[in-house]
Structure 1
Amino acid sequence: MRFEECNWMDVDNYLKNDDRVILVIGACEQHAYLSLLTDTRIPLALADAVSTETGIVVAPVINFGISSYFLSYPGTISLRTKTLMNLVEDVIDSLYHHGFKKILILNGHGGNDPVKGRLNEILNKYSDLRVIWYAWWQSHSVEKIAIENDIKPAHANWLEAFPFTRVGELPKTEKTPPHYQGLLSADSTKSVFQDGSFGGPYEVDQSIMNEIFYACYLDILNLLKFE
């Protein structure tokens, strides 16, 4: 159940029985041959699946993240770090004001990690607020699946090639991971990574992707217990 499917009275009734909410933070950035909204589509698909199972409401998605290093790729839209921090704080302030005391953040983009520092400050502000941050690709279950299949996860490679992130055909060959050192500007990033993938297979068998999605789904169900 998403906010856009509710009116204010629905939310009011929901809060009489549950104070949990799922907040998805994604990004709009290049993902080689995958959707520009890959980092939003994956956590949102997980949120919808879990919401269908539990009835826990899903707040409106934050579609933009911190992606300045990809700005030389057309279609990338990046927020300044402080902008995303302020946006997340404003959203949490509003949710808490209405009575949501347990917030599970499903983050889809590694560049958004600086937000976690602001979350610590927010928790100091509200003593009875619980916040959990979950980044699906960092799951131990996902790491185990990758190791068992001898495939390395990376940006815009097989790891993110779900059916719902594909917008066209994917190359059948593997890409050699480019070598680089240090931090890169947007222009340097495009020069190094070319098509945008960080290397490895562009896709793997769908059974592996199904296993990863289900493992993350189970992770989230467990986290929503807020134990």
Structure 2
Amino acid sequence: MKISEMNWMQLEEYLKKDDRVIVPLGSVEQHAYLSLAVDMILAEKIACDAAEPLGIPVYPPLPFGITPYFSAYPGTINIRVETYVRVIHDILDSLARSGFKRIILLNGHGGNQPAASAIAEWTLVHPEIKVRFYNWWNAPQTLAKVRSVDPTSSHASWMENLPWTRLENAPCPDERKEAADYQRLSVMNSTEARAYLGDGNFGGWYQRSPEEEMAMWQVAITETRAILEGPWQ
């Protein structure tokens, strides 16, 4: 259930019987022909789909993340690492004050990895609170399912081209793009990265069949739900 569809009294009642909560972490950045908000959209969607039968509240996604390498693409918003870490700490402080003791930061963007270190720092002084940092897209079973369809699938490929992220007025090519050279990308500035990547897809099929898409998504839901259920010790 979404926090946006609850009031504080309902949340207080929930906390009498459960102390789990989910905060999706996203990013607003280029995704080739797909929505600029792919990472935010998918993080919230997988959180809601996985949490629904468990009744765990889901906060609105944190929309902005760490993405300096895409700064040459219009629309990308980058948050400095030090700023992002402080935001994560503030979010955790607030959730703990509310009474949540098992917190899942469900991440949809690879650049947000510093949040994992921020959590480790925070839990040093809050050992009574359990916090999970979970990347839904590269969890073992989900990633294996993606690789079984296309081993080169990556950023802005079919694995992110889903009904909630594609745009009616910007159809994706029906082809497979050669995989990007990550070693080259690692030393490029944002302007060089844009020139190298072109439309922004990192490689792989731009789209696959609806059956393949939904099969992958169902694996992601099941795997994510297992994380929410625990164990938490």
TM-score, length basis structure 1: 0.95
Unaligned runs of 5+ in 2: none
Unaligned runs of 5+ in 1: none
TM-score, length basis structure 2: 0.93
Q: Give the deviation of 1:150 after TM superposition.
A: 4.1
Q: Give the deviation of 1:177 after TM superposition.
A: 2.6
The equivalent of 2:87 in structure 1 is 87
Aligned residues: 227
3-state DSSP of counterpart to 1:22: strand
Give per-residue Cα distances to partners, 1:21-74, cap 9 Å, x unaligned.
011000000000011010011111111112321111012210000011101100
CA distance in 2, matches of 1:95, 1:60: 13
Contact kept in structure 2, 1:67 and 1:77, CA below 8 Å? yes
The answer to whether residue 177 in structure 2 is matched with residue 175 in structure 1 is yes
Q: Give the deviation of 1:6 after TM superposition.
A: 1.4
The equivalent of 2:141 in structure 1 is 141
CA distance in 1, matches of 2:45, 2:33: 19
CA distance in 2, matches of 1:139, 1:51: 17
Kindly report which structure 2 residues correspond to 1:148-167, keeping only aligned pairs within 5 A, or say none. 148-167=148-167
Query: RMSD of the TM alignment (CA)?
Result: 1.3
Contact kept in structure 1, 2:115 and 2:133, CA below 8 Å? no
The equivalent of 1:222 in structure 2 is 226
3-state DSSP of counterpart to 2:229: coil
CA distance in 2, matches of 1:222, 1:154: 24
The answer to whether residue 159 in structure 2 is matched with residue 194 in structure 1 is no
Q: Could you say if the C-alpha distance between residues 108 and 61 of structure 1 is closer, same or farther in structure 2, counting changes exceeding 3 Å?
A: same
3-state DSSP of counterpart to 1:32: coil
Q: Could you say if the C-alpha distance between residues 21 and 208 of structure 1 is closer, same or farther in structure 2, counting changes exceeding 3 Å?
A: same
3-state DSSP of counterpart to 1:23: strand
CA distance in 2, matches of 1:152, 1:176: 8
Give per-residue Cα distances to partners, 1:93-137, cap 9 Å, x unaligned.
000011100011110000000111111011111111111111122
Kindly report which structure 2 residues correspond to 1:1-227, keeping only aligned pairs within 5 A, or say none. 1-167=1-167, 168-179=170-181, 181=184, 182-227=186-231
Contact kept in structure 1, 2:142 and 2:223, CA below 8 Å? no
Please identify runs of 4+ aligned residues in structure 1 that moved more than 6 A. none
CA distance in 2, matches of 1:188, 1:5: 44
CA distance in 2, matches of 1:89, 1:76: 24
